[in-house]
Copies of this chain bind each other. A is one copy, B any other.
């Protein structure tokens, strides 16, 4: 995946996505002793960057009959939205035990939720069977060049927005789950601003990407990690993202759950933005590893889908 595919993806998705703002907060800068640029993907369509990748893929398909995804999270919302843009059906394969809140959110976007008899173990099989039965296109959440290119468009925008303000981000911090987002962002950054560091951020209990980069092979977690950051509970990074990461990502930082909670609190109370735990990982890395990080940092606030509690 090269820069040209990111521009192509941006061309496809731009009419249906927001060019999300690059937020700044003097208060937060003072507290952290850094200059922070917050790429506000929590304000993206569907509430996360996942709309970019899903649309990038869906709009490149030739007359798909429908879209299919294995997800109850932000990727599901992205695929449901992409299907609406295309005017086709979306089928989401979701374990029966997934939260009713998430199923309802997917249905609210017009998708059909398939959960009867679905478990975390058999859901890939169920999806394959459904794919053959319906002829719908299966959209992988990260292990797909067109999806990665779509996620990377957030990086293109970020660099353009920083450049327009005359600010040079010395490092970009990105949450890592399956690796699709950071692979896309790193492709944009290393092509357009090669001296900018690209750093992944993971919860300490789920630092498979960090270990994978260190060991030079994909390290797979034994079981789903316990972390507030539900967007990065994947067991391993994808093969295609990993190839890109090895070449273009400078490192991965692991953060504690305490730092993550404090980062969420700071974003909530200081910037008045609703960011989900996964989206607060980059700020948690600034809290926990600030002294090892440069001064001007771009943080990818990846999503804002969290429950409201009165």
Contacts and interface: CB of A to CB of B under 8 A. Distances in A.
Pick from A228, A261, A309 the residue with the most CB of B within 10 Å: A309
A233 interface: no
A305 B268 CA distance: 9
A310 B261 contact: yes
Given A228-B310, A309-B309, A310-B228, A304 B272 contact: yes
A307 B268 CA distance: 9
Contact of A265 (B42, B228, B275, B308): B308
A43 interface: yes
Contacts of A304: 272
A96 to B, nearest CB: 24
Interface in A34-74: 42-43, 47
A125 to B, nearest CB: 33
Interface string A162-206: 000000000000000000000000000000000000000000000
Copies of this chain, count:
2
A269 to B, nearest CB: 6
A236 interface: no
Contacts of A275: 272
A272 B43 contact: yes
A272 B269 contact: no
Contact of A274 (B228, B272, B305): B272
Contacts of A272: 42-43, 47, 273-275, 304
Contacts of A43: 272
Interface of A: 42-43, 47, 228, 261, 264-265, 268-269, 272-275, 304-305, 308-310
18 contacts: A42-B272, A43-B272, A47-B272, A228-B310, A261-B310, A264-B308, A264-B310, A265-B308, A265-B310, A268-B274, A268-B308, A269-B274, A272-B273, A272-B274, A272-B304, A273-B273, A274-B274, A309-B309
Given A265-B308, A265-B310, 16 more contacts: A43-B272, A47-B272, A261-B310, A264-B308, A264-B310, A268-B274, A268-B308, A269-B274, A269-B308, A272-B273, A272-B274, A272-B275, A272-B304, A273-B273, A273-B274, A274-B274
